[in-house]
Structure 1
Amino acid sequence: MRQHTQSKGTYVGRQPIYDRALDVYAYELLYRRGNVNRATFSDGDLATTQLLINTFMEIGLENIVGSRPAFINITGDFFTGQYPLPMSHEQVVFELLETVEPTAEVINGVRGLVEQGYRIALDDYLLRQDTLPLLELASFVKLDVLNMQRDELARTVERLRRRDLMLIAEKVETPADYDACRELGFDLFQGYFFSYPDVIQTHTNTANRSVVIRLIAQLQDPSIDLREVETLIAQDVILSFRLLRYINCATFGLRREVDSIRQAIMLLGLATVRNWATLLLLSQFDDRKPRELMTIALIRARMCELLSVTDPRIDAGQAFTTGLFSLLDAMLDVPMENLLDQMPLSLPIKLALLNREGVLGTLLDDVVRYERGQWDGLAERDAVSIDYNSAYLAAMSWADNSSKALRAA
């Protein structure tokens, strides 16, 4: 039976905002307190203050978003100048919530921030007469595509496209939603559309995908030994080259250069080499998928591994593999059930990936819940070992660095 956490800590989550090339344009920073599944604004100004302090003073903005813009929700009193904004304007975009009345004072406050160089995004914007002055000041407009009829959405987009601003489609939940929003002319996209396989999409490289799936299946066979892994990787010259180049990057911090697959296995271990070879194979398929998808898979893998110490029944290696493969269906546009039929993974991993069953399934479910800010359902874990927030921040930093190295390999 699932127990719920009672943590009262302050957390910061991030959600990617993608451009039309499916590269990450920015991240929205989300305030989270304890195990509540949405931002808690019983005192909106206090919530914003805690978010700003937590982000800029404790964690560090660069550790969450790197060099990309950070979208941050702030309340009306911040726009009207009643509270200081302790950050420079270069990397921050302030979101004006739809709940803030567009009074003359608010409009003047927004104008003052724009004159200081800040960029403004209008969140869940509704095109009304009283909100029109804000359009003259905004750099971004976010539309909730999940709660708008298609005809209404098309009319709104058509009117807003005449202005010098960027349109963000918010709550884009499926590949079909993304395609529709892209066709309407949105510039940026936010939501979980990347997390699901696009089984309707046809691929010209089906044969290559089949080869890769077979190779991944062989690499992940629990009975495979060192010599078999070495032979399997060595047969693919490009894979061997990329794997050695990646292993020799600064991410692993090795004191000497590794010049053979056997040496890599001896230094890093069989499981590590198998997993990174698998990642390099998956990284070939970036055609219609955000590259951030790989980063999210890595965050899940590392966070599962870190949290595995909170339950003695969980093997850290199995936890890593479970997190890593949790988006395999979305990466390859093949239903998870079909993929698992081809993969000789252990039964606990298969049950976790398919139905979220067992201790691995509960762990993966918790990691995905944390990722999406659904904290009210998190299982109680031994916070003395490591807590959810620490595991997430550590996994995020590790995954960001690993993704950069993978792309360079």
Structure 2
Amino acid sequence: MFKNLFGSLTGKTTEKTEDSKAVPAPPDNADRLPPSFGFITHQPVYDSQQKLVAYEFVACDAVQRSEAGTSQYAQYDQLMLGTLLNLDVFSLLAKRRAFINLSLSVLNNPQLATLAAQRVICILNPSAGERIGQAELAQIQQLKQQGLCFALEPTQFGEGQLTPSLQNDLFGLMDYLILDFSASAEEVLIPFLDKLPARFPRARWYARNINSMEAYEVCLRSSAAHERFVLFQGPFITQVRKIEGVQTDAGRLRVMEILRLLRSGADSKALNEQFKLDSILLFKLLRFINSPANGLNRKISTLDESLLLLGRETLFKWLTLLLFTSNKDDNRSLVLLERSLWRARFMETLGTAGGKNRLECEHLFLTGMFSMLDALLQQPLKEALQPLSLPPTVASALIDGNGLFAPYLNLTLGLEQEQDERIRTLSSELGLAVEQVNRLQLQAMAWAESVANGDQP
């Protein structure tokens, strides 16, 4: 479908043309809202070079919100905005932008103006029965003058929401226009049949729900791609594609051997011999270990110090990171590293919150780290894990989806896939409150960014 879509239209569209901030007071009719706002998920957003550059924050109750009237929709949005501010999300994002989904009915919220300096882009969503007029356009214009950026999905704003003349004015104010590839073929076609790229040449395009590398590559190959698509979101990065004739590089094979030796109880001499074959590996390992995000009391300078001060299980945990960086630090590997770190840290802190002992938490970390090894090595997960002799609880969760750690992994995957019912069920089974899950996953996001980027004191 994607090849036909862009192949047939390129000729028609290339012409130049801990709480640090207060939560808002609850609304008067808050009794009609959920007792807790609900789960907030974050979706990674990539640029055309597959670098992770932003997150889109989504409320899992988006379907319920979209069916609400304008007044109640605004209350949901105020709660989400307050939750993000209360969790200090925007200050956690040192190097990333944040997309947040809001309705036009909250444009007068005074907190919006404070987000301009926080690298925030507001994605506008119309609520049921909402009509947009000059007043809303003036509010957007004023917020843009204060530095806030905006985006919208054109197919969401038809004549039911605003007149054709106001539609041009509204779209012209947008910094990003969104194309959702999970929509029907007809909806995907509409922006191009309407020649929106040519009519609004200053707007950049954000391709959402890209489910395959093929769709991503088609976007890049389309005529004037740099004017169309600059941001991408979806599971295409983690897709496993078996590529014939491509072998695991020597650096990753060496890391696998070091991991095997460490699991088998080999002494430090044998481990050091492996590191001597590739001196950069030890440098990278120590960079990860000494990251300020880990809060060590002293700097570790040698492998022997690592074994002595951290122990074998913790050292094994940090060695897994080298699998993602032993090649040439291509952008895709770095993205997979950061996403694996997020999974690992989130699962580890969930274990801590649930009263698991230190070894169990270390193994929860390993479960998260190795959960994306299939995407990294482009081979089935069972095959990729086979040389490592992982602890049974880790292997059972990853390969069979069973055992003590499976609920933690499934909760993590549920958040990534925005499966509200699954998230609620698993959180309840693990004895975790909504606020706890939200806080831990966002803290893990910031921690993963810090470690993956090698932030140093």
Answer yes or no: same fold by TM over 0.5.
Answer: yes
TM-score, normalization by structure 1: 0.83
d(CA) in 2 for partners of 1:202 and 1:159?
A: 42
d(CA) in 1 for partners of 2:342 and 2:63?
A: 21
d(CA) in 2 for partners of 1:359 and 1:381?
A: 11
Identify if the C-alpha distance between structure 1 residues 263 and 71 changes in structure 2 by more than 3 Å, giving closer, same or farther: same
d(CA) in 2 for partners of 1:195 and 1:238?
A: 26
Question: Are positions 1:305 and 2:345 aligned together?
Answer: no
Q: Is the 8 A contact 2:103 2:126 kept in 1?
A: no
Q: Is the 8 A contact 1:97 1:124 kept in 2?
A: no
Question: Are positions 1:31 and 2:74 aligned together?
Answer: no
Identify if the C-alpha distance between structure 1 residues 324 and 69 changes in structure 2 by more than 3 Å, giving closer, same or farther: same
Show the counterpart of 2:179: 143
Identify if the C-alpha distance between structure 1 residues 75 and 402 changes in structure 2 by more than 3 Å, giving closer, same or farther: same
| CA RMSD between the two structures | 3.3
Identify if the C-alpha distance between structure 1 residues 229 and 40 changes in structure 2 by more than 3 Å, giving closer, same or farther: farther
Identify if the C-alpha distance between structure 1 residues 225 and 82 changes in structure 2 by more than 3 Å, giving closer, same or farther: closer
Question: Are positions 1:194 and 2:237 aligned together?
Answer: yes
Identify if the C-alpha distance between structure 1 residues 233 and 270 changes in structure 2 by more than 3 Å, giving closer, same or farther: farther
Corresponding pairs, count: 394
- 302, 312, 321: which one aligns with 1:260: 302
Tell me how far 1:9 sits from its aligned partner: 5.3
Q: Is the 8 A contact 2:41 2:418 kept in 1?
A: yes
Question: Are positions 1:179 and 2:217 aligned together?
Answer: yes
Show the counterpart of 1:18: 46
* 2:256 partner letter: I
What's the secondary structure of 1:30's corresponding residue?
strand
Unpaired segments of 5 or more residues in structure 1?
1-5
Bigger shift: 52-61 or 42-51? 52-61
Alignment of 1:69-218 (within 5 A): 69-79=97-107, 81=108, 85-90=112-117, 91-97=119-125, 99=127, 101-123=131-153, 125=155, 129=164, 131-149=167-185, 153=189, 156=192, 159-162=195-198, 163-184=201-222, 185=225, 186-200=229-243, 203=246, 206=247, 208=249, 212-213=252-253, 215-216=255-256, 218=258
Give the helix-richer structure, 1 or 2. Answer: 2
Show the counterpart of 1:392: 441
Identify if the C-alpha distance between structure 1 residues 215 and 9 changes in structure 2 by more than 3 Å, giving closer, same or farther: same
What's the secondary structure of 2:178's corresponding residue?
strand
Q: Is the 8 A contact 2:41 2:57 kept in 1?
A: yes
- 293, 300, 308: which one aligns with 2:336: 293
Larger relative contact order (C-alpha < 8 A, sep ≥ 6)? 1
* 1:56 partner letter: L
* 1:224 partner letter: G
d(CA) in 1 for partners of 2:48 and 2:135?
A: 36
Question: Are positions 1:241 and 2:283 aligned together?
Answer: yes
Q: Is the 8 A contact 2:179 2:205 kept in 1?
A: yes
Tell me how far 1:291 sits from its aligned partner: 2.8
Structure 1 runs, 4 residues or longer, greater than 6 Å off: none
Tell me how far 1:268 sits from its aligned partner: 1.3
Q: Is the 8 A contact 1:194 1:290 kept in 2?
A: no
* 1:399 partner letter: A
Tell me how far 1:292 sits from its aligned partner: 3.0
Question: Are positions 1:271 and 2:320 aligned together?
Answer: no
Tell me how far 1:160 sits from its aligned partner: 3.1
d(CA) in 2 for partners of 1:111 and 1:194?
A: 35
Bigger shift: 85-94 or 127-136? 127-136
Q: Is the 8 A contact 2:239 2:375 kept in 1?
A: yes
What's the secondary structure of 1:66's corresponding residue?
coil
Bigger shift: 217-226 or 170-179? 217-226
Identify if the C-alpha distance between structure 1 residues 177 and 243 changes in structure 2 by more than 3 Å, giving closer, same or farther: same
Question: Are positions 1:326 and 2:371 aligned together?
Answer: yes
Show the counterpart of 1:224: 265
TM-score, normalization by structure 2: 0.75
Identify if the C-alpha distance between structure 1 residues 237 and 98 changes in structure 2 by more than 3 Å, giving closer, same or farther: same
Q: Is the 8 A contact 2:179 2:206 kept in 1?
A: yes
d(CA) in 1 for partners of 2:111 and 2:449?
A: 31
What's the secondary structure of 2:454's corresponding residue?
helix
* 1:15 partner letter: Q
Show the counterpart of 1:3: none
Identify if the C-alpha distance between structure 1 residues 255 and 316 changes in structure 2 by more than 3 Å, giving closer, same or farther: closer
Tell me how far 1:67 sits from its aligned partner: 4.0
d(CA) in 1 for partners of 2:276 and 2:133?
A: 67
d(CA) in 2 for partners of 1:67 and 1:133?
A: 32
* 2:391 partner letter: S
d(CA) in 2 for partners of 1:288 and 1:399?
A: 15
Identify if the C-alpha distance between structure 1 residues 225 and 154 changes in structure 2 by more than 3 Å, giving closer, same or farther: farther
* 2:211 partner letter: E
d(CA) in 2 for partners of 1:383 and 1:151?
A: 39
Q: Is the 8 A contact 1:22 1:291 kept in 2?
A: no
d(CA) in 2 for partners of 1:327 and 1:124?
A: 34
- 36, 58, 75: which one aligns with 1:46: 75
* 1:199 partner letter: K
* 1:212 partner letter: R
Identify if the C-alpha distance between structure 1 residues 70 and 202 changes in structure 2 by more than 3 Å, giving closer, same or farther: farther
Deviation per residue, 1:27-46 (Å, 9 max, x gap): 222235xxx58674542111
d(CA) in 1 for partners of 2:390 and 2:193?
A: 47
Q: Is the 8 A contact 1:19 1:189 kept in 2?
A: yes
What's the secondary structure of 2:409's corresponding residue?
helix
d(CA) in 2 for partners of 1:38 and 1:351?
A: 34
Of all paired residues, the percent bearing the same amino acid is: 24
Question: Are positions 1:349 and 2:349 aligned together?
Answer: no
d(CA) in 2 for partners of 1:74 and 1:127?
A: 14
